[in-house]
Structure 1
Amino acid sequence: MSNETLSVQAEPRSQFGQGLVWMALSMASFIGMSVGSRELAATLSIQQVLFFRALVGLFVILALGRALLPELRGLKLIRLHLVRNVVHFVAQYLWTIGVVLLPLASVFALEFTMPIWVAFFAWIFLKERLTTPRILATIGGFIGVLVIVRPGVGMVDPAAGLVLIAAAGYGLSLIFVKQLTRQCSPGAIVVWMILIQLPLGFFAALTDWREVHVTDVPWMLVAGLGALAAHYCQAQALKRLDASVVMPIDFLRVPLAAVVGYYSYAEAIDLWVFLGGGIILFSNYRAVMAERR
Protein backbone atom coordinates (compact mmCIF):
# COMPACT_ATOMS: atom_id res chain seq x y z
CA MET A 1 0.00 0.00 0.00
CA SER A 2 1.47 3.36 -1.05
CA ASN A 3 2.14 6.26 1.28
CA GLU A 4 -0.39 8.33 -0.69
CA THR A 5 -3.15 5.78 -0.02
CA LEU A 6 -2.30 5.67 3.67
CA SER A 7 -2.43 9.46 3.77
CA VAL A 8 -5.89 9.52 2.16
CA GLN A 9 -7.19 6.96 4.66
CA ALA A 10 -5.62 8.73 7.63
CA GLU A 11 -7.09 12.15 6.78
CA PRO A 12 -10.77 11.29 7.58
CA ARG A 13 -9.65 9.63 10.82
CA SER A 14 -7.67 12.74 11.73
CA GLN A 15 -10.66 14.98 10.95
CA PHE A 16 -12.92 12.77 13.06
CA GLY A 17 -10.50 12.84 15.98
CA GLN A 18 -10.14 16.62 15.75
CA GLY A 19 -13.93 16.97 15.61
CA LEU A 20 -14.30 14.97 18.82
CA VAL A 21 -11.73 17.19 20.55
CA TRP A 22 -13.52 20.38 19.43
CA MET A 23 -16.85 18.94 20.57
CA ALA A 24 -15.41 18.06 23.99
CA LEU A 25 -14.11 21.63 24.31
CA SER A 26 -17.53 22.96 23.30
CA MET A 27 -19.32 20.92 25.95
CA ALA A 28 -16.83 22.00 28.61
CA SER A 29 -17.29 25.63 27.56
CA PHE A 30 -21.10 25.44 27.73
CA ILE A 31 -20.94 23.96 31.21
CA GLY A 32 -18.33 26.52 32.23
CA MET A 33 -20.59 29.32 31.02
CA SER A 34 -23.46 27.85 33.04
CA VAL A 35 -21.41 27.54 36.23
CA GLY A 36 -19.97 31.03 35.81
CA SER A 37 -23.45 32.49 35.25
CA ARG A 38 -24.85 30.71 38.30
CA GLU A 39 -21.99 31.90 40.51
CA LEU A 40 -22.41 35.49 39.31
CA ALA A 41 -26.16 35.34 39.92
CA ALA A 42 -25.45 34.62 43.59
CA THR A 43 -24.33 38.23 44.08
CA LEU A 44 -25.42 40.06 40.92
CA SER A 45 -28.72 40.37 39.08
CA ILE A 46 -29.34 38.22 36.01
CA GLN A 47 -29.35 41.39 33.91
CA GLN A 48 -25.84 42.13 35.15
CA VAL A 49 -24.75 38.58 34.35
CA LEU A 50 -25.77 39.07 30.70
CA PHE A 51 -24.10 42.48 30.57
CA PHE A 52 -20.76 41.30 31.93
CA ARG A 53 -20.79 38.22 29.68
CA ALA A 54 -21.14 40.53 26.68
CA LEU A 55 -18.53 42.94 28.10
CA VAL A 56 -15.94 40.16 28.23
CA GLY A 57 -16.87 39.32 24.64
CA LEU A 58 -16.28 42.96 23.65
CA PHE A 59 -12.66 42.85 24.83
CA VAL A 60 -12.14 39.64 22.85
CA ILE A 61 -13.51 41.05 19.58
CA LEU A 62 -11.55 44.30 20.03
CA ALA A 63 -8.40 42.20 20.18
CA LEU A 64 -9.25 39.78 17.38
CA GLY A 65 -11.92 41.37 15.17
CA ARG A 66 -10.07 44.16 13.33
CA ALA A 67 -10.07 42.24 10.06
CA LEU A 68 -13.88 42.40 10.04
CA LEU A 69 -14.08 46.21 10.09
CA PRO A 70 -14.67 46.62 6.29
CA GLU A 71 -17.63 44.21 6.43
CA LEU A 72 -19.04 45.82 9.57
CA ARG A 73 -18.93 49.31 8.06
CA GLY A 74 -21.27 48.15 5.30
CA LEU A 75 -24.08 47.58 7.88
CA LYS A 76 -25.29 44.68 5.75
CA LEU A 77 -28.65 43.25 6.95
CA ILE A 78 -28.42 45.40 10.07
CA ARG A 79 -32.18 45.19 10.73
CA LEU A 80 -32.06 41.40 10.73
CA HIS A 81 -29.05 41.54 13.07
CA LEU A 82 -31.08 43.73 15.44
CA VAL A 83 -34.12 41.44 15.42
CA ARG A 84 -32.00 38.32 15.82
CA ASN A 85 -30.10 39.70 18.79
CA VAL A 86 -33.18 41.02 20.61
CA VAL A 87 -34.71 37.53 20.35
CA HIS A 88 -31.44 35.91 21.42
CA PHE A 89 -31.00 38.31 24.34
CA VAL A 90 -34.47 37.54 25.72
CA ALA A 91 -33.83 33.80 25.29
CA GLN A 92 -30.51 34.13 27.16
CA TYR A 93 -32.26 35.97 29.99
CA LEU A 94 -34.86 33.21 30.41
CA TRP A 95 -32.22 30.48 30.05
CA THR A 96 -30.06 32.07 32.74
CA ILE A 97 -33.04 32.15 35.11
CA GLY A 98 -33.36 28.42 34.49
CA VAL A 99 -29.65 27.88 35.19
CA VAL A 100 -30.02 29.65 38.53
CA LEU A 101 -33.24 27.92 39.64
CA LEU A 102 -33.08 24.43 38.11
CA PRO A 103 -30.55 21.58 38.25
CA LEU A 104 -28.03 21.99 35.43
CA ALA A 105 -28.94 18.63 33.87
CA SER A 106 -32.62 19.63 33.67
CA VAL A 107 -31.74 22.90 31.92
CA PHE A 108 -29.67 21.18 29.25
CA ALA A 109 -32.23 18.41 28.74
CA LEU A 110 -35.05 20.94 28.19
CA GLU A 111 -32.76 22.99 25.95
CA PHE A 112 -32.50 20.01 23.61
CA THR A 113 -36.04 20.69 22.40
CA MET A 114 -34.43 23.42 20.25
CA PRO A 115 -34.17 21.26 17.07
CA ILE A 116 -37.95 20.85 17.21
CA TRP A 117 -38.43 24.62 17.27
CA VAL A 118 -35.89 25.03 14.46
CA ALA A 119 -37.91 22.70 12.23
CA PHE A 120 -41.12 24.56 13.09
CA PHE A 121 -39.70 28.03 12.44
CA ALA A 122 -37.93 26.84 9.27
CA TRP A 123 -41.34 25.75 8.00
CA ILE A 124 -42.82 29.19 8.75
CA PHE A 125 -40.00 31.54 7.75
CA LEU A 126 -37.89 29.56 5.28
CA LYS A 127 -40.74 27.59 3.70
CA GLU A 128 -38.96 24.31 4.37
CA ARG A 129 -41.09 21.19 4.22
CA LEU A 130 -42.43 19.88 7.54
CA THR A 131 -41.73 16.22 6.78
CA THR A 132 -43.03 13.17 8.60
CA PRO A 133 -39.72 12.57 10.45
CA ARG A 134 -39.78 16.16 11.70
CA ILE A 135 -43.38 15.82 12.87
CA LEU A 136 -42.51 12.58 14.68
CA ALA A 137 -39.50 14.31 16.26
CA THR A 138 -41.81 17.05 17.50
CA ILE A 139 -44.18 14.53 19.07
CA GLY A 140 -41.29 12.59 20.62
CA GLY A 141 -39.75 15.79 21.96
CA PHE A 142 -43.05 16.81 23.53
CA ILE A 143 -43.29 13.40 25.25
CA GLY A 144 -39.72 13.82 26.50
CA VAL A 145 -40.55 17.22 27.98
CA LEU A 146 -43.58 15.74 29.77
CA VAL A 147 -41.33 13.04 31.27
CA ILE A 148 -38.88 15.69 32.54
CA VAL A 149 -41.36 18.16 34.03
CA ARG A 150 -43.94 15.45 34.98
CA PRO A 151 -47.06 17.63 35.24
CA GLY A 152 -49.37 16.35 37.95
CA VAL A 153 -46.48 15.12 40.12
CA GLY A 154 -46.28 17.94 42.63
CA MET A 155 -45.85 21.53 41.48
CA VAL A 156 -44.28 21.99 38.04
CA ASP A 157 -41.41 24.46 38.39
CA PRO A 158 -42.24 27.61 36.35
CA ALA A 159 -38.53 27.89 35.54
CA ALA A 160 -38.90 24.78 33.33
CA GLY A 161 -41.43 26.69 31.23
CA LEU A 162 -38.99 29.59 30.93
CA VAL A 163 -36.26 27.25 29.66
CA LEU A 164 -38.67 25.86 27.05
CA ILE A 165 -39.49 29.40 25.90
CA ALA A 166 -35.74 30.10 25.80
CA ALA A 167 -35.23 27.01 23.63
CA ALA A 168 -37.88 28.34 21.25
CA GLY A 169 -36.10 31.70 21.20
CA TYR A 170 -32.78 30.03 20.45
CA GLY A 171 -34.47 28.10 17.64
CA LEU A 172 -35.88 31.30 16.10
CA SER A 173 -32.48 32.99 16.52
CA LEU A 174 -30.84 30.10 14.67
CA ILE A 175 -33.22 30.59 11.74
CA PHE A 176 -32.22 34.26 11.59
CA VAL A 177 -28.56 33.25 11.69
CA LYS A 178 -29.14 30.92 8.76
CA GLN A 179 -30.59 33.86 6.82
CA LEU A 180 -27.67 36.09 7.83
CA THR A 181 -25.02 33.59 6.68
CA ARG A 182 -26.19 34.04 3.09
CA GLN A 183 -24.58 37.49 3.03
CA CYS A 184 -22.56 37.83 6.27
CA SER A 185 -19.51 35.98 7.58
CA PRO A 186 -19.79 34.02 10.86
CA GLY A 187 -17.24 36.38 12.42
CA ALA A 188 -19.35 39.43 11.58
CA ILE A 189 -22.45 37.76 13.02
CA VAL A 190 -20.63 37.18 16.33
CA VAL A 191 -19.30 40.76 16.43
CA TRP A 192 -22.76 42.24 15.82
CA MET A 193 -24.09 39.95 18.54
CA ILE A 194 -21.68 41.48 21.06
CA LEU A 195 -22.16 45.07 19.85
CA ILE A 196 -25.97 44.87 20.00
CA GLN A 197 -26.37 42.78 23.14
CA LEU A 198 -23.86 44.79 25.18
CA PRO A 199 -26.04 47.96 25.34
CA LEU A 200 -29.16 45.80 25.79
CA GLY A 201 -27.50 44.15 28.78
CA PHE A 202 -26.27 47.47 30.15
CA PHE A 203 -29.68 49.18 30.13
CA ALA A 204 -31.33 46.04 31.51
CA ALA A 205 -28.69 45.85 34.27
CA LEU A 206 -29.44 49.45 35.32
CA THR A 207 -32.94 48.32 36.36
CA ASP A 208 -31.42 46.03 39.02
CA TRP A 209 -27.81 47.08 39.57
CA ARG A 210 -26.02 45.54 42.53
CA GLU A 211 -22.58 46.17 43.94
CA VAL A 212 -19.83 44.41 42.01
CA HIS A 213 -16.97 42.83 43.95
CA VAL A 214 -13.47 41.87 42.89
CA THR A 215 -14.35 38.25 43.59
CA ASP A 216 -16.94 38.43 40.78
CA VAL A 217 -14.31 39.11 38.10
CA PRO A 218 -13.05 35.50 37.72
CA TRP A 219 -16.62 34.27 37.25
CA MET A 220 -17.24 37.02 34.67
CA LEU A 221 -14.29 35.68 32.70
CA VAL A 222 -15.51 32.09 33.04
CA ALA A 223 -19.02 33.02 31.84
CA GLY A 224 -17.94 35.39 29.07
CA LEU A 225 -15.08 33.36 27.64
CA GLY A 226 -17.13 30.18 28.04
CA ALA A 227 -19.96 31.65 25.94
CA LEU A 228 -17.65 32.67 23.09
CA ALA A 229 -15.58 29.49 23.22
CA ALA A 230 -18.65 27.23 23.24
CA HIS A 231 -20.00 28.57 19.95
CA TYR A 232 -16.57 28.77 18.32
CA CYS A 233 -15.64 25.19 19.26
CA GLN A 234 -19.03 23.89 18.15
CA ALA A 235 -18.57 25.55 14.74
CA GLN A 236 -15.12 23.97 14.43
CA ALA A 237 -16.60 20.56 15.26
CA LEU A 238 -19.31 20.99 12.63
CA LYS A 239 -16.62 21.65 10.02
CA ARG A 240 -15.19 18.22 10.68
CA LEU A 241 -18.21 16.10 11.65
CA ASP A 242 -21.71 15.62 10.29
CA ALA A 243 -24.49 17.22 12.31
CA SER A 244 -25.91 13.74 12.87
CA VAL A 245 -22.67 12.87 14.67
CA VAL A 246 -22.35 16.15 16.57
CA MET A 247 -25.89 16.08 17.98
CA PRO A 248 -25.61 12.76 19.91
CA ILE A 249 -22.19 13.82 21.21
CA ASP A 250 -23.54 17.21 22.26
CA PHE A 251 -26.23 15.48 24.29
CA LEU A 252 -23.49 14.25 26.62
CA ARG A 253 -23.80 17.72 28.13
CA VAL A 254 -26.76 16.40 30.14
CA PRO A 255 -24.89 13.70 32.14
CA LEU A 256 -21.80 15.92 32.36
CA ALA A 257 -23.93 18.76 33.74
CA ALA A 258 -25.49 16.31 36.19
CA VAL A 259 -22.02 15.30 37.43
CA VAL A 260 -20.92 18.94 37.77
CA GLY A 261 -24.17 19.81 39.55
CA TYR A 262 -23.77 16.84 41.89
CA TYR A 263 -20.22 17.68 42.96
CA SER A 264 -20.47 21.49 42.86
CA TYR A 265 -24.00 22.10 44.15
CA ALA A 266 -25.04 18.75 45.70
CA GLU A 267 -27.84 18.41 43.13
CA ALA A 268 -29.55 15.03 43.12
CA ILE A 269 -29.17 13.09 39.87
CA ASP A 270 -32.72 12.69 38.57
CA LEU A 271 -33.24 9.60 36.41
CA TRP A 272 -36.40 11.17 34.95
CA VAL A 273 -34.22 13.88 33.38
CA PHE A 274 -32.10 11.24 31.64
CA LEU A 275 -35.16 9.27 30.50
CA GLY A 276 -36.93 12.33 29.10
CA GLY A 277 -33.70 13.65 27.61
CA GLY A 278 -33.08 10.28 25.99
CA ILE A 279 -36.52 10.38 24.35
CA ILE A 280 -35.80 13.88 23.00
CA LEU A 281 -32.38 12.76 21.74
CA PHE A 282 -33.74 9.60 20.09
CA SER A 283 -36.57 11.51 18.40
CA ASN A 284 -34.23 14.13 16.95
CA TYR A 285 -31.60 11.58 15.98
CA ARG A 286 -34.11 9.47 14.05
CA ALA A 287 -35.35 12.59 12.27
CA VAL A 288 -31.82 13.60 11.26
CA MET A 289 -30.98 10.11 9.98
CA ALA A 290 -34.23 9.99 8.00
CA GLU A 291 -33.48 13.39 6.45
CA ARG A 292 -29.99 12.18 5.44
CA ARG A 293 -31.47 9.15 3.70
Structure 2
Amino acid sequence: MSSPHPPSQPLLAVLWMMGALASFTSMAVAARELTQDLSVFQISFMRTVICLALLTPYAYKLGWQKMKTDRLKTHVGRNIIHFTGQFGWIYGVSILPLAAVFSLEFSAPIWTAILAALLLKERITRIRALSIALGFAGILVILRPGSDLMQPASFVVIGAAICFAFTYVFTRGLAATESAFKIIFYMNLIQFPIGLVLSVPVWITPGTEMLPFIAILGIGGITSHYSIARAMAHADAAVVSPLDFLRLPLVAVIGFLLYQEPWNPYVIIGGAITFSGNLLNILSEQKALKRRMRPEPTPPQT
Protein backbone atom coordinates (compact mmCIF):
# COMPACT_ATOMS: atom_id res chain seq x y z
CA MET A 1 0.00 0.00 0.00
CA SER A 2 1.37 3.45 -0.93
CA SER A 3 1.94 6.02 1.78
CA PRO A 4 -0.78 8.68 2.12
CA HIS A 5 1.94 11.33 2.36
CA PRO A 6 4.32 12.13 -0.50
CA PRO A 7 8.00 11.52 0.25
CA SER A 8 9.94 14.45 1.66
CA GLN A 9 12.00 16.33 -0.93
CA PRO A 10 14.02 18.90 1.06
CA LEU A 11 15.91 20.23 -1.95
CA LEU A 12 12.69 21.15 -3.75
CA ALA A 13 11.37 22.69 -0.55
CA VAL A 14 14.50 24.84 -0.29
CA LEU A 15 14.16 25.97 -3.90
CA TRP A 16 10.51 26.94 -3.42
CA MET A 17 11.40 28.81 -0.23
CA MET A 18 14.06 30.73 -2.14
CA GLY A 19 11.25 31.83 -4.44
CA ALA A 20 9.21 32.92 -1.42
CA LEU A 21 12.15 34.86 0.02
CA ALA A 22 12.72 36.60 -3.32
CA SER A 23 9.03 37.50 -3.50
CA PHE A 24 8.84 38.92 0.03
CA THR A 25 11.99 41.02 -0.27
CA SER A 26 11.04 42.25 -3.76
CA MET A 27 7.63 43.32 -2.45
CA ALA A 28 9.26 45.26 0.39
CA VAL A 29 11.55 47.12 -2.00
CA ALA A 30 8.68 47.80 -4.42
CA ALA A 31 6.49 49.14 -1.61
CA ARG A 32 9.33 51.37 -0.35
CA GLU A 33 9.86 52.82 -3.83
CA LEU A 34 6.16 53.39 -4.50
CA THR A 35 5.44 55.10 -1.17
CA GLN A 36 7.83 57.87 -2.16
CA ASP A 37 5.17 59.15 -4.59
CA LEU A 38 1.91 57.29 -3.99
CA SER A 39 -0.40 56.85 -1.01
CA VAL A 40 -0.58 53.53 0.80
CA PHE A 41 -4.25 53.23 -0.18
CA GLN A 42 -3.45 53.56 -3.88
CA ILE A 43 -0.59 51.07 -3.64
CA SER A 44 -2.86 48.52 -1.94
CA PHE A 45 -5.51 49.08 -4.62
CA MET A 46 -3.10 48.65 -7.52
CA ARG A 47 -1.72 45.47 -5.94
CA THR A 48 -5.27 44.12 -5.82
CA VAL A 49 -5.84 45.01 -9.48
CA ILE A 50 -2.76 43.03 -10.54
CA CYS A 51 -3.76 40.03 -8.41
CA LEU A 52 -7.32 40.03 -9.80
CA ALA A 53 -6.01 40.23 -13.37
CA LEU A 54 -3.93 37.11 -12.72
CA LEU A 55 -6.58 35.17 -10.80
CA THR A 56 -9.76 35.95 -12.75
CA PRO A 57 -9.04 33.81 -15.86
CA TYR A 58 -8.63 30.69 -13.72
CA ALA A 59 -11.73 31.58 -11.68
CA TYR A 60 -13.67 31.91 -14.96
CA LYS A 61 -12.36 28.53 -16.07
CA LEU A 62 -13.56 26.92 -12.83
CA GLY A 63 -17.04 28.36 -13.33
CA TRP A 64 -19.60 29.98 -11.09
CA GLN A 65 -20.68 26.75 -9.38
CA LYS A 66 -17.18 26.15 -7.98
CA MET A 67 -16.52 29.80 -7.17
CA LYS A 68 -19.77 30.73 -5.43
CA THR A 69 -19.68 30.88 -1.65
CA ASP A 70 -22.20 30.63 1.18
CA ARG A 71 -19.80 32.36 3.58
CA LEU A 72 -19.61 35.83 2.08
CA LYS A 73 -19.93 37.59 5.45
CA THR A 74 -16.92 35.70 6.78
CA HIS A 75 -14.92 36.57 3.65
CA VAL A 76 -15.87 40.25 4.02
CA GLY A 77 -14.91 40.38 7.70
CA ARG A 78 -11.64 38.58 7.06
CA ASN A 79 -10.63 40.90 4.24
CA ILE A 80 -11.51 44.16 5.94
CA ILE A 81 -9.07 43.10 8.65
CA HIS A 82 -6.52 41.89 6.09
CA PHE A 83 -6.71 45.18 4.18
CA THR A 84 -6.02 47.02 7.44
CA GLY A 85 -3.01 44.78 8.10
CA GLN A 86 -1.73 45.28 4.56
CA PHE A 87 -2.03 49.05 5.01
CA GLY A 88 -0.02 48.84 8.25
CA TRP A 89 2.68 46.71 6.65
CA ILE A 90 3.16 49.04 3.66
CA TYR A 91 3.11 52.07 5.94
CA GLY A 92 5.77 50.46 8.12
CA VAL A 93 7.94 49.69 5.10
CA SER A 94 7.77 53.36 4.11
CA ILE A 95 8.97 54.59 7.55
CA LEU A 96 11.04 51.92 9.30
CA PRO A 97 14.18 50.01 8.34
CA LEU A 98 13.13 46.95 6.31
CA ALA A 99 14.71 44.53 8.79
CA ALA A 100 12.68 46.05 11.64
CA VAL A 101 9.44 45.56 9.73
CA PHE A 102 10.21 41.91 9.04
CA SER A 103 11.32 41.29 12.65
CA LEU A 104 8.09 42.71 14.06
CA GLU A 105 6.06 40.85 11.44
CA PHE A 106 7.45 37.56 12.82
CA SER A 107 5.17 38.11 15.83
CA ALA A 108 2.05 37.26 13.77
CA PRO A 109 2.07 33.51 14.73
CA ILE A 110 2.32 34.51 18.40
CA TRP A 111 -0.81 36.66 18.12
CA THR A 112 -2.46 33.82 16.18
CA ALA A 113 -1.91 31.44 19.10
CA ILE A 114 -3.47 33.95 21.49
CA LEU A 115 -6.46 34.64 19.23
CA ALA A 116 -6.99 30.93 18.54
CA ALA A 117 -7.23 30.36 22.29
CA LEU A 118 -9.69 33.25 22.72
CA LEU A 119 -11.84 32.71 19.62
CA LEU A 120 -11.47 29.02 18.78
CA LYS A 121 -11.03 27.82 22.37
CA GLU A 122 -7.75 26.11 21.47
CA ARG A 123 -5.80 25.00 24.53
CA ILE A 124 -2.64 26.90 25.44
CA THR A 125 -0.14 24.20 26.30
CA ARG A 126 3.08 24.84 28.22
CA ILE A 127 5.04 24.81 24.96
CA ARG A 128 2.63 27.26 23.35
CA ALA A 129 2.81 29.52 26.41
CA LEU A 130 6.62 29.43 26.19
CA SER A 131 6.49 30.30 22.47
CA ILE A 132 4.21 33.27 23.23
CA ALA A 133 6.59 34.43 25.97
CA LEU A 134 9.54 34.21 23.57
CA GLY A 135 7.56 36.24 21.02
CA PHE A 136 6.97 39.04 23.50
CA ALA A 137 10.59 38.89 24.63
CA GLY A 138 11.73 39.34 21.02
CA ILE A 139 9.48 42.38 20.61
CA LEU A 140 10.90 43.90 23.81
CA VAL A 141 14.46 43.42 22.55
CA ILE A 142 13.60 45.16 19.28
CA LEU A 143 11.67 48.01 20.95
CA ARG A 144 13.94 48.37 23.98
CA PRO A 145 13.68 51.68 25.90
CA GLY A 146 15.66 54.42 24.20
CA SER A 147 15.65 52.65 20.84
CA ASP A 148 15.04 54.64 17.66
CA LEU A 149 12.38 52.04 16.85
CA MET A 150 10.27 53.06 19.85
CA GLN A 151 7.96 55.11 17.64
CA PRO A 152 4.36 54.96 16.36
CA ALA A 153 5.28 53.25 13.06
CA SER A 154 6.61 50.23 14.97
CA PHE A 155 3.30 49.82 16.77
CA VAL A 156 1.48 50.18 13.45
CA VAL A 157 3.48 47.19 12.18
CA ILE A 158 2.66 45.23 15.35
CA GLY A 159 -0.99 46.13 14.71
CA ALA A 160 -0.57 44.80 11.16
CA ALA A 161 0.83 41.54 12.58
CA ILE A 162 -2.23 41.26 14.83
CA CYS A 163 -4.49 41.84 11.80
CA PHE A 164 -2.66 39.09 9.90
CA ALA A 165 -3.15 36.83 12.93
CA PHE A 166 -6.90 37.50 12.78
CA THR A 167 -6.91 36.56 9.09
CA TYR A 168 -5.07 33.29 9.87
CA VAL A 169 -7.76 32.42 12.42
CA PHE A 170 -10.50 33.30 9.91
CA THR A 171 -8.73 31.17 7.30
CA ARG A 172 -8.74 28.14 9.59
CA GLY A 173 -12.52 28.38 9.72
CA LEU A 174 -12.94 29.05 6.01
CA ALA A 175 -10.62 26.22 4.98
CA ALA A 176 -13.21 23.67 6.13
CA THR A 177 -15.47 24.57 3.19
CA GLU A 178 -13.44 26.83 0.87
CA SER A 179 -10.45 26.04 -1.33
CA ALA A 180 -7.22 28.00 -0.96
CA PHE A 181 -7.74 29.52 -4.41
CA LYS A 182 -11.26 30.66 -3.52
CA ILE A 183 -10.04 32.29 -0.31
CA ILE A 184 -7.33 34.20 -2.21
CA PHE A 185 -9.70 35.17 -5.03
CA TYR A 186 -12.36 36.56 -2.67
CA MET A 187 -9.64 38.35 -0.73
CA ASN A 188 -8.74 40.40 -3.79
CA LEU A 189 -12.33 40.71 -5.04
CA ILE A 190 -13.51 42.18 -1.73
CA GLN A 191 -10.48 44.41 -1.26
CA PHE A 192 -10.89 45.86 -4.77
CA PRO A 193 -13.80 48.23 -3.94
CA ILE A 194 -12.32 49.06 -0.52
CA GLY A 195 -9.04 50.15 -2.09
CA LEU A 196 -10.81 51.97 -4.91
CA VAL A 197 -12.96 54.11 -2.60
CA LEU A 198 -10.03 55.01 -0.35
CA SER A 199 -7.54 55.72 -3.14
CA VAL A 200 -9.71 57.90 -5.41
CA PRO A 201 -9.41 61.07 -3.22
CA VAL A 202 -5.60 60.80 -3.18
CA TRP A 203 -5.11 59.34 -6.65
CA ILE A 204 -1.93 60.16 -8.55
CA THR A 205 -1.49 58.70 -12.02
CA PRO A 206 1.65 56.56 -11.75
CA GLY A 207 4.47 57.25 -14.17
CA THR A 208 5.92 54.56 -16.39
CA GLU A 209 8.92 54.21 -14.06
CA MET A 210 6.54 53.01 -11.33
CA LEU A 211 4.93 50.25 -13.39
CA PRO A 212 7.62 47.61 -12.75
CA PHE A 213 7.28 48.13 -8.98
CA ILE A 214 3.48 47.91 -9.21
CA ALA A 215 3.83 44.64 -11.13
CA ILE A 216 6.32 43.25 -8.58
CA LEU A 217 3.99 44.09 -5.69
CA GLY A 218 1.01 42.40 -7.34
CA ILE A 219 2.81 39.32 -8.65
CA GLY A 220 4.79 38.91 -5.43
CA GLY A 221 1.55 38.87 -3.44
CA ILE A 222 0.63 35.63 -5.22
CA THR A 223 4.01 33.99 -5.77
CA SER A 224 5.11 34.41 -2.13
CA HIS A 225 2.19 32.44 -0.70
CA TYR A 226 2.17 29.93 -3.56
CA SER A 227 5.88 29.24 -3.08
CA ILE A 228 5.42 28.61 0.64
CA ALA A 229 2.52 26.26 -0.08
CA ARG A 230 4.65 24.33 -2.58
CA ALA A 231 7.56 24.18 -0.13
CA MET A 232 5.24 22.77 2.54
CA ALA A 233 4.11 20.14 0.04
CA HIS A 234 7.70 18.90 -0.36
CA ALA A 235 8.85 18.96 3.28
CA ASP A 236 7.54 19.30 6.82
CA ALA A 237 6.95 22.71 8.35
CA ALA A 238 9.86 22.00 10.70
CA VAL A 239 12.14 21.95 7.64
CA VAL A 240 10.55 24.85 5.77
CA SER A 241 10.00 27.33 8.63
CA PRO A 242 13.67 27.85 9.58
CA LEU A 243 14.31 28.87 5.97
CA ASP A 244 11.72 31.62 6.37
CA PHE A 245 13.97 33.25 8.97
CA LEU A 246 16.47 33.96 6.19
CA ARG A 247 14.12 36.77 5.17
CA LEU A 248 15.50 38.84 8.04
CA PRO A 249 19.26 38.90 7.27
CA LEU A 250 18.48 39.03 3.54
CA VAL A 251 16.29 42.10 3.83
CA ALA A 252 18.81 43.67 6.25
CA VAL A 253 21.50 43.35 3.56
CA ILE A 254 19.17 44.76 0.91
CA GLY A 255 18.22 47.66 3.20
CA PHE A 256 21.90 48.43 3.74
CA LEU A 257 22.84 48.22 0.04
CA LEU A 258 19.86 50.14 -1.38
CA TYR A 259 18.95 52.57 1.40
CA GLN A 260 22.07 52.70 3.61
CA GLU A 261 20.04 51.43 6.57
CA PRO A 262 22.43 50.80 9.49
CA TRP A 263 22.95 47.27 10.78
CA ASN A 264 21.01 46.91 14.05
CA PRO A 265 22.02 43.78 16.01
CA TYR A 266 19.06 44.17 18.40
CA VAL A 267 16.64 43.83 15.48
CA ILE A 268 18.30 40.59 14.35
CA ILE A 269 18.51 39.19 17.89
CA GLY A 270 14.92 40.17 18.70
CA GLY A 271 13.68 38.71 15.44
CA ALA A 272 15.59 35.50 16.15
CA ILE A 273 14.02 35.21 19.63
CA THR A 274 10.52 35.76 18.25
CA PHE A 275 11.13 33.31 15.43
CA SER A 276 12.47 30.68 17.86
CA GLY A 277 9.13 30.87 19.65
CA ASN A 278 7.33 30.24 16.36
CA LEU A 279 9.59 27.29 15.53
CA LEU A 280 9.19 25.79 19.00
CA ASN A 281 5.41 25.85 18.57
CA ILE A 282 5.64 24.25 15.12
CA LEU A 283 7.88 21.43 16.36
CA SER A 284 5.55 20.78 19.30
CA GLU A 285 2.47 20.63 17.09
CA GLN A 286 4.19 18.28 14.65
CA LYS A 287 5.14 15.90 17.46
CA ALA A 288 1.55 15.94 18.71
CA LEU A 289 0.25 15.28 15.19
CA LYS A 290 2.58 12.30 14.73
CA ARG A 291 1.44 10.85 18.06
CA ARG A 292 -2.21 11.15 16.98
CA MET A 293 -1.46 9.49 13.63
CA ARG A 294 0.50 6.62 15.18
CA PRO A 295 -1.52 3.39 14.80
CA GLU A 296 -2.83 1.75 17.92
CA PRO A 297 -0.97 -1.41 18.92
CA THR A 298 -2.75 -4.60 17.91
CA PRO A 299 -3.89 -6.55 20.95
CA PRO A 300 -2.34 -10.00 21.24
CA GLN A 301 -4.32 -12.94 19.93
CA THR A 302 -5.69 -15.28 22.56
Q: TM-score, normalised by structure 2?
A: 0.89
1:48-96 Cα distance to aligned partner (Å, 9 max, x none): 1001000111110123332333345532211111011000000000111
Q: In 1, are the aligned partners of 2:86 and 2:160 still within 8 Å (CA)?
A: yes
Match of 2:261 in 1: 267
Within-5 A mapping of 1:1-293: 12=7, 15-71=9-65, 73-153=67-147, 156-293=150-287
**CA shift for structure 1 position 12:** 3.7
Match of 1:4 in 2: none
The 1:154/1:231 distance shift into structure 2, 3 A limit, reads closer
**Which region of structure 1 is more displaced relative to structure 2, 217-226 or 147-156?**
147-156
Q: Which of the two has greater helix per residue?
A: 1
C-alpha distance in 1 between matches for 2:265 and 2:86: 26
Q: In 1, are the aligned partners of 2:134 and 2:274 still within 8 Å (CA)?
A: yes
1:115-171 Cα distance to aligned partner (Å, 9 max, x none): 111111111222211111111111111111111111234671211101111001101
**CA shift for structure 1 position 28:** 0.7
The 1:182/1:267 distance shift into structure 2, 3 A limit, reads same
Q: In 2, are the aligned partners of 1:91 and 1:169 still within 8 Å (CA)?
A: yes
1:241-289 Cα distance to aligned partner (Å, 9 max, x none): 2222222110110000001111111111111111111111222222322
Q: In 2, are the aligned partners of 1:71 and 1:188 still within 8 Å (CA)?
A: no
Q: In 2, are the aligned partners of 1:140 and 1:279 still within 8 Å (CA)?
A: yes
Q: TM-score, normalised by structure 1?
A: 0.92
Q: In 2, are the aligned partners of 1:94 and 1:162 still within 8 Å (CA)?
A: yes
**CA shift for structure 1 position 23:** 0.8
**CA shift for structure 1 position 214:** 1.7
- Structure 2 unaligned residues grouped into runs of 5+: 288-302
C-alpha distance in 2 between matches for 1:97 and 1:85: 18
Taking only the aligned residue pairs, the percentage that are identical comes to 36
**Count of residue correspondences:** 283
Secondary structure at the counterpart of residue 65 of structure 1: helix
Q: In 2, are the aligned partners of 1:50 and 1:201 still within 8 Å (CA)?
A: yes
Amino acid at match of 1:143: A
- Structure 1 unaligned residues grouped into runs of 5+: 1-7
List structure 1 runs of 4+ shifted beyond 3 angstroms: 152-155
Secondary structure at the counterpart of residue 207 of structure 1: helix
